[in-house]
A and B are shown apart, each in its own frame.
Chain A
Amino acid sequence: MSQKQYWKGLEEQQGTEAHKVAASNEFSEPLPFDMSEGLLEAQTPRRDFLKYLGFSTAAAMLAASCEMPVRKVIPYAIKPEDIIPGVPNYYASTFVDGGDYCAVVVKTRDGRPIKIEGNDKSSINKGASSARVQASVLNLYDTARLRGPLADGKEATFEAIDRSITASLASSKKTVLLTSTVLSPTSKNAIQQFLAKYPTAQWLTYDAISYSGMLLANEASYGKKTLPAYHFENAKTIVSLGADFLGTWLSPTEFAKQYAQGRRVSAKNLEMSKHYHVEANHTITGAAADERATCKPSQMGAVAAALYNAIQTGATPNLGTEKLNALVKDAAADLKKGNGLVVAGSNDVAVQTVVNAINSAVGANGTTINWAVTSNYKQGIDADFVGLVQAMNAGQVDTLIMQNVNPVYESAMGDQFESGLSKVANTITFASHLDETAQKCKYSIPDHHYLESWGDAEPKSGFYSLMQPGISPIHKTRAYQDSLLTWAGASETYFNQWEAYWKTKLGGQTNFDLALQDGVIEPEQETMGGASFNGNLAAAMQQISATKSGKTEVVVYEKIAMGKGGAWSNNPWLQEMPDPISKATWDNYACVSPKKAKELQAELTSITEVVAAKTVIKIKIKGFEVALPLVVIPGMHNDVIAVALGYGRSEKIGRAAANTGKRVAPLMHYNGTTFVAYNDITIERTAETYEIAQTQTHISYEGRPILHEYTLEEFKKNPNELIEDRAKEIGHYASATPWENHEGGEKEAIDANKLAEDFRVNGTLYPNYEHLGVHWGMSIDLNSCIGCGACVVGCQAENNISVVGKHHVLKSQEMHWIRIDRYFSGMPDDADSIQTVFQPMMCQHCDNAPCENVCPVNATSHSSEGLNQMTYNRCIGTKYCANNCPYKVRHFNWMDWNGADAFADNLYEDGRRDDMNDELTRMVLNPDVTVRSRGVMEKCSFCVQRLQEAKLTAKKAGEPLKDGAARTACQQACPTDAIIFGNVNDKESAIHKVRHEQQKERLFYVLEQIHTLPNVNYLSKIRNAEEVIGGNEAKDGLMNDHI
């Protein structure tokens, strides 16, 4: 039926034996009971049976004879006025991690933050959030956080530490304050006060993920050592040269929100941006792109130069591959039409200079790039840091104070920094954990978590955001600004200065209160401004042409979940979040192309995903080698290996961080101006294997058509193609008289809504159930979904979803209620032909649910509002429902993941590391959602606790339920608004309009023909591309069997 065929991995594409076995097995490992034929031959003898029977009877008797525990109810001694126990309070605040910024709203219950959402009032992230923002609340309750200041590794008091530091600062000849990018104006004031007190002190900024190349190129091109504000929503043509702007580049949440605005196609609105993407590895931005081609990282400059020449002179690009040449040519033509935007991920000054020249030539400055408002996300210059390392090693630095940096781990020069550290007399860090740098420091004075802090941020010039705490500091920590102010001898605390600053700036208490309530202080409208290019293009072009390519090159990338590492490494939610492309959890690995894997003679089982044991390869550069398992990613350039940062942490970072992956920062080097990856590495196969826990092999769709994808041209030509396809599939059964022949006759336009309604009523023997009142429904736009995973972590935080640990992910026992399925299409051996689609999949809340009929105890049933309800206390764990679910969205609790009734430490026996039986960590749990125990099934509930709360609020107000009052956690987390949710019965609701008016042409239900009547619909993917790959059996690498 669909014109396109997808495969979720090479094993499926090639139909390997192992895949067939895995797909036909219900469980990924042998069950722990004997399946031999006949009771007499059974290995479980009768005596054992009687023993177990006796034990369980005795245990039950014992349990039954126990008295009910006496519970206490302890009210506040003096109740704070604004807290009502059981009612959440929301505070606007700001998430800041170095230069990463997100305006957030913190949900607190009884005084503890339990959920983070994006702040709708912010014009920067507009209510969006990312996986890391969603997971940041768990970092607050991290048991591995430092619980108080340390001096020489021993606990100390602030007073004692302050005394000795103040004394040493006075005599320090050279003091250096090394921070990550500081967004906060008041923190900068505090730093200035410190610098004023110690005139010899110097303040340097260091970013673990360096954007020096851009900063320096902008300084040369426009005379401003800063980053502009980007506006992807204004762009008709977007060209990205290796910039993963939807995943990790600069400010991905902001850009994703903007980008999605230009991608919302409907039959009535056929306007859509065109996105060209060139990259070496495979990122989610590449997956979202309309046209994608690959090149080596060293070639990126040549691509930029070719693009520049094609625009200026119309020169035909000559870049080696056909696809790349075509892409550059088309991109140049489109860019010339105006409203173009070119971004590059390279940290090379020359490449960024050429990109600046292109943007200037196509008139991007002032339309899609704003120079009147600049971004402050990254301010570090690599040369400063390198200079510091040299000075430290030369013994010229007496005191080094570090805030939110961990160079020993993060920097490519980590070894040199570490040896330099030993030559600095006084080393002070404000790190929250005893990280790799803190372990070598004399003093550790842990800073507050951002949810415990007062503060502010200026992410873009003139755009401010306030930070207020959701909880008072849990441990003996101190704001780093207070430490600096104390040493500077300031009489006021940072909080007082901050308050005074904002009251003065905003003009009085009332305005201040309002600003604190809103969280953001922003100009009404962003003024746009351009800039004229003044850079030395010729020199940059020359430098680019002199770039040497290596035989095999490396890309050192950030994972969406993990970023540079930092405290995220010890966040089990992020560790277990499957990487959008590789679907791997808990590790980093070497991504290689399928062809490369074959060249390395890694047998099929390890290049595909069925077998978890992956061949380990060694990646070598001069003086450094790292052994990493190989994971095959279709769409990787054949001569490129991609490895992720953020792994290989010290065990002291915490239980979740320990023993995951390897540190790969040394694969980068300082090229004289900036840090870049080596472009000549050697790889070598070893005989070892290493298990990587990937998730998507755990289920199979057996090749059924579950996705629909069209090119924009096709969609323009016939918007109703999907409706016609659906009618072909289900039309027969939608008729009240299916025994008659309905084919032939006059062809008239099909009414999609009538078709679905008729199919609902006539396609079954069951009576039709009427949904009075509310009928919940969800719509997911595959065009907007970028696969970023914010929904996965948002759902995990909202619904107390367990982390199972690597061992159990290997056994396919992960518990995520929403997963993002990733499907490839194209020829695996041709990286440029690969197209990738994401499809979020959760319980479809079928109105005719196959799971409900098979439950022997009625533990899963249907509600009058269209919810497929899972009742944990009734479930006896037969798993029939999971077996009968065509969408494979039900998850069984094989273990007591949350330690609900466990002994203290048995949770960690088999590699689980979420600390969920620790009282501190458990503070993150949502008290409105039951914590599930062993032996029960669970699945997406459409966030029923939120629906109930929204209805209750409406009832209390005596008003009908407003559209948008009930939002699911995934919907709220989604940065691209791909998810719409609401009451379908409400004719004014967004979901009703999408289904019945705006998007009825693109709408489809997964496996609609089996009459499950899902309450989740999808909107087809529309690619603004020449062709959708997968239609031609001869050249597109279709799946061998199926259909």
Chain B
Amino acid sequence: MLRFKKIVFQSIALVAIVLFSNFSSSAQDGKAIFQANCASCHNPIKDATGPALQGVDKRVPSKEWIYNWIHNSAKVISSGDKYANDLYNKWNKTAMTAFPQLSNAEIDAVIKYVNDYKAPSATPAAGAATQNGPEEDNSNMYILVTLALLVLMVILWKVNSGLKRVANEKQGLPNVKEIPFYRNKLFVAIAIILAFILAGYWIANGSIEMGRQQNYKPEQPIFYSHKVHAGINQINCLYCHAGAEKSKHAMVPSTNVCMNCHKQINEYTGEAEHPLYNEEGEKINGTEQIQLLYKYAGWDPAKKDYIRNDKGEIQATPIKWTKIHNLPDHVYFNHSQHVAVGKVPCQQCHGPIQEMDEVYQFSPLSMGWCINCHRQTKVQFENNNYYSIFEKYHQELKDKKRDGVTVEEIGGLECQRCHY
């Protein structure tokens, strides 16, 4: 069973990794740069906080203009450039962040990426989901077959003993007095022992599972779809969960982060492409959910401005999300260790999050699950100078005695890596 789980887990993880590396074949750099810098405000094919970028190089005055604009848009606007000022006014005077650090080549890569971009289809993750189905059917079938065979066995045994009795009577042999099975001492003893073992198994398993919440999918105060944001609109996970690289907490974003984009995006326009349904199958109106966000964020959509008190403070209230991924207090988990150092993709633990309208707990988050990964995962040994202190392993790598160092081998299974 464990082995089976492992295979499923691995294949899902594999699918997730493949899925993420899929787009990267042609415009590797462009995609990465786009996701890290542009995706929070721009979509290649749709207007967001900023305009859709596909074909941008065709519509602007010149390539040089794009470079200047990206490096410092304010400068271009103040220079009196007509196209720039028109654009600025068209987008409600929303200033674009300056990216002086991007080189022209990098900008070219981004342009190439957005021009080549095609809307993703929703199929790959479906594959991951269906993989579970037939396997489960199989096991049910086995149970059914076993039960049918058992019933058949009992019937045959009964028939056999009945025939035997009849035969005995015919031959005049004395029949042994029949004891009903529930008074058969052997049977009772076996039944009791079996019941004891099964109950023990059930109780032990039950208590091990206590406090685990795999597949937990609570209803949230706002119907926030990760699929719409991270999947369809390709917003980088780290844009909202900025803590994942720096802190133990990945951090749920505050409303002002939402408003960076939602000042502009005030309706859900993907209805045709991706209608939203909740767990009960009820239709969800995306635009209404955005209005709900405005209430929390203290935003007046009519005036297009924040509601402020006398002191000029924005009247925002935090959103009380229901926490899905819970670890016991005695477990120390650090996101940055895994994301920044281990370079583990989010999906490895959180599953195909970009396919989830409502997020559920994908992994069991059990200790066995953690340990398993620590046993198998190879650390970023050679590209991080921290590990230079493990001279022995480096020597072995050089001598080709090993092809990598797992987390376990640098002490990743020791109690006080997670419990202190």
Tell me the A residues contacting B by CB distance below 8 Å: 64, 68, 70-79, 84-87, 770, 772-774, 861, 863-865, 867, 869-874, 928-931, 941, 944-945, 948, 951-952, 954-961, 985-986
B104 at the interface (CB under 8 A from A): no
Determine the distance from Cα of A298 to Cα of B401 in the docked complex, in whole angstroms: 79
Determine the distance from Cα of A872 to Cα of B420 in the docked complex, in whole angstroms: 8
Q: Which of A70, A77, A960, A986 contacts B296 (CB 8 A)?
A: A77
Determine the distance from Cα of A17 to Cα of B318 in the docked complex, in whole angstroms: 66
Residue of B nearest to A88 (CB): B247
B269 at the interface (CB under 8 A from A): no
What size tier do the contact residues of chain B reach?
35 or more
Determine the distance from Cα of A981 to Cα of B254 in the docked complex, in whole angstroms: 40
Q: Which of B317, B340, B415 contacts A869 (CB 8 A)?
A: B415
Q: A871-B415, A955-B341 are in contact. Are A961 and B386 (CB under 8 A)?
A: yes
Q: Are B255 and A87 in contact (CB under 8 A)?
A: no
Q: Are B257 and A79 in contact (CB under 8 A)?
A: yes
Q: Which of B218, B392, B417 contacts A948 (CB 8 A)?
A: B417
Known: A78-B254, A86-B249, A945-B420. 20 other contacts (CB 8 A): A64-B207, A72-B323, A75-B321, A76-B254, A76-B318, A77-B255, A77-B256, A78-B255, A79-B257, A85-B251, A86-B248, A86-B251, A87-B246, A863-B414, A863-B415, A944-B420, A948-B332, A958-B385, A960-B385, A960-B388
Tell me the B residues contacting A by CB distance below 8 Å: 206-207, 210-211, 213, 218, 242-243, 246-249, 251-257, 296-298, 314, 316-323, 326, 328-330, 332, 334, 336-337, 340-341, 383-393, 410-411, 414-417, 419-420
Q: Whole-angstrom distance from the CB of B324 to the nearest CB of chain A? A: 8
Determine the distance from Cα of A855 to Cα of B242 in the docked complex, in whole angstroms: 42
Q: Are A869 and B323 in contact (CB under 8 A)?
A: no
Q: Whole-angstrom distance from the CB of B148 to the nearest CB of chain A? A: 35
Q: Which of A70, A863, A952 contacts B416 (CB 8 A)?
A: A863
Q: Are A68 and B213 in contact (CB under 8 A)?
A: yes
The 20 listed contacts between A and B (C-beta, < 8 Å) are A72-B323, A74-B319, A75-B252, A77-B254, A87-B243, A772-B410, A773-B387, A863-B416, A867-B416, A869-B419, A871-B415, A871-B419, A928-B332, A931-B329, A941-B416, A944-B420, A955-B384, A958-B386, A960-B388, A985-B389
B393 contact set on A, CB distance < 8 A: 772
Q: Are A941 and B420 in contact (CB under 8 A)?
A: yes
User: Most chain-A Cβ atoms within 10 A of its Cβ — which of B246, B337, B387, B415?
Assistant: B415
Residue of A nearest to B367 (CB): A873
B417 contact set on A, CB distance < 8 A: 948
Residue of A nearest to B328 (CB): A873
A79 contact set on B, CB distance < 8 A: 253-254, 256-257
Q: Are B246 and A960 in contact (CB under 8 A)?
A: no
Determine the distance from Cα of A565 to Cα of B395 in the docked complex, in whole angstroms: 61
Q: Are B211 and A961 in contact (CB under 8 A)?
A: no
Determine the distance from Cα of A74 to Cα of B393 in the docked complex, in whole angstroms: 44
Q: Whole-angstrom distance from the CB of A267 to the nearest CB of chain B? A: 30
Q: Are A930 and B419 in contact (CB under 8 A)?
A: yes
B316 contact set on A, CB distance < 8 A: 77-78
Q: Are B419 and A872 in contact (CB under 8 A)?
A: yes
Residue of A nearest to B313 (CB): A78
B420 contact set on A, CB distance < 8 A: 869, 928-930, 941, 944-945, 948
Q: Which of B257, B337, B385, B419 contacts A952 (CB 8 A)?
A: B337
Q: Which of B207, B253, B389, B419 contacts A961 (CB 8 A)?
A: B389
Determine the distance from Cα of A75 to Cα of B319 in the docked complex, in whole angstroms: 7
* Nearest 9 Cβ contacts at the A-B interface: A86-B247, A77-B316, A869-B416, A79-B254, A86-B249, A871-B415, A71-B323, A76-B254, A864-B411
Determine the distance from Cα of A760 to Cα of B218 in the docked complex, in whole angstroms: 56
Q: Whole-angstrom distance from the CB of B28 to the nearest CB of chain A? A: 22
Determine the distance from Cα of A84 to Cα of B255 in the docked complex, in whole angstroms: 15
Q: Are B336 and A956 in contact (CB under 8 A)?
A: yes
Q: Are B340 and A956 in contact (CB under 8 A)?
A: yes
Residue of B nearest to A936 (CB): B330
Q: Are B247 and A958 in contact (CB under 8 A)?
A: no
User: Most chain-A Cβ atoms within 10 A of its Cβ — which of B206, B254, B316, B320?
Assistant: B254
B247 contact set on A, CB distance < 8 A: 84-87
Q: Are B213 and A72 in contact (CB under 8 A)?
A: no
Q: Whole-angstrom distance from the CB of A342 to the nearest CB of chain B? A: 49
Q: A869-B414, A959-B385 are in contact. Are A773 and B390 (CB under 8 A)?
A: yes
Q: Are A71 and B415 in contact (CB under 8 A)?
A: no
Determine the distance from Cα of A77 to Cα of B254 in the docked complex, in whole angstroms: 5
B253 contact set on A, CB distance < 8 A: 75, 79
User: Most chain-B Cβ atoms within 10 A of its Cβ — which of A86, A864, A985?
Assistant: A86
A72 contact set on B, CB distance < 8 A: 320-323
Determine the distance from Cα of A959 to Cα of B297 in the docked complex, in whole angstroms: 41
Q: Whole-angstrom distance from the CB of B295 to the nearest CB of chain A? A: 12
Determine the distance from Cα of A986 to Cα of B298 in the docked complex, in whole angstroms: 54
Q: Are B322 and A71 in contact (CB under 8 A)?
A: yes
Determine the distance from Cα of A770 to Cα of B414 in the docked complex, in whole angstroms: 15
Determine the distance from Cα of A361 to Cα of B330 in the docked complex, in whole angstroms: 63
A865 contact set on B, CB distance < 8 A: 411
Q: A867-B416, A873-B419, A930-B419 are in contact. Are A68 and B211 (CB under 8 A)?
A: yes
Q: Are B416 and A944 in contact (CB under 8 A)?
A: yes
Q: A77-B254, A78-B316 are in contact. Are A71 and B414 (CB under 8 A)?
A: no
Q: Which of A73, A861, A871, A952 contacts B323 (CB 8 A)?
A: A73
Determine the distance from Cα of A311 to Cα of B206 in the docked complex, in whole angstroms: 84
Determine the distance from Cα of A869 to Cα of B321 in the docked complex, in whole angstroms: 36
A86 contact set on B, CB distance < 8 A: 243, 247-249, 251
Determine the distance from Cα of A772 to Cα of B419 in the docked complex, in whole angstroms: 21
Residue of A nearest to B417 (CB): A948
Residue of A nearest to B221 (CB): A72
A945 contact set on B, CB distance < 8 A: 332, 420
Q: Whole-angstrom distance from the CB of B352 to the nearest CB of chain A? A: 21
User: Most chain-A Cβ atoms within 10 A of its Cβ — which of B256, B328, B416?
Assistant: B416
B389 contact set on A, CB distance < 8 A: 773-774, 960-961, 985-986
A871 contact set on B, CB distance < 8 A: 415-416, 419
Q: Are A864 and B249 in contact (CB under 8 A)?
A: no
Q: Whole-angstrom distance from the CB of B241 to the nearest CB of chain A? A: 10
Q: Are B419 and A74 in contact (CB under 8 A)?
A: no
Q: Are A954 and B386 in contact (CB under 8 A)?
A: yes
Q: Whole-angstrom distance from the CB of A779 to the nearest CB of chain B? A: 20
Q: Are A85 and B255 in contact (CB under 8 A)?
A: no
Q: Which of A64, A73, A872 contacts B206 (CB 8 A)?
A: A64
B320 contact set on A, CB distance < 8 A: 72, 74
Q: Are B251 and A64 in contact (CB under 8 A)?
A: no
B322 contact set on A, CB distance < 8 A: 70-73
A930 contact set on B, CB distance < 8 A: 329-330, 419-420
Residue of A nearest to B386 (CB): A955
Q: Are B341 and A956 in contact (CB under 8 A)?
A: yes
A928 contact set on B, CB distance < 8 A: 332, 420
Q: Whole-angstrom distance from the CB of B12 to the nearest CB of chain A? A: 24
Residue of A nearest to B258 (CB): A75
Q: Are A77 and B411 in contact (CB under 8 A)?
A: no
B323 contact set on A, CB distance < 8 A: 70-73
Q: Whole-angstrom distance from the CB of A941 to the nearest CB of chain B? A: 6
Q: Are B326 and A71 in contact (CB under 8 A)?
A: yes
Determine the distance from Cα of A609 to Cα of B385 in the docked complex, in whole angstroms: 55
Q: Are B243 and A958 in contact (CB under 8 A)?
A: no
Q: Are A74 and B416 in contact (CB under 8 A)?
A: no
Residue of B nearest to A63 (CB): B210
Determine the distance from Cα of A87 to Cα of B248 in the docked complex, in whole angstroms: 8
Q: Whole-angstrom distance from the CB of A871 to the nearest CB of chain B? A: 4
Q: Which of A76, A863, A948, A960 contacts B386 (CB 8 A)?
A: A960
Q: Whole-angstrom distance from the CB of B414 to the nearest CB of chain A? A: 4
B218 contact set on A, CB distance < 8 A: 70
Q: A68-B213, A955-B341 are in contact. Are A73 and B419 (CB under 8 A)?
A: no
Q: Whole-angstrom distance from the CB of B316 to the nearest CB of chain A? A: 4
Residue of A nearest to B240 (CB): A75
B332 contact set on A, CB distance < 8 A: 928, 945, 948
B207 contact set on A, CB distance < 8 A: 64
Determine the distance from Cα of A944 to Cα of B392 in the docked complex, in whole angstroms: 24
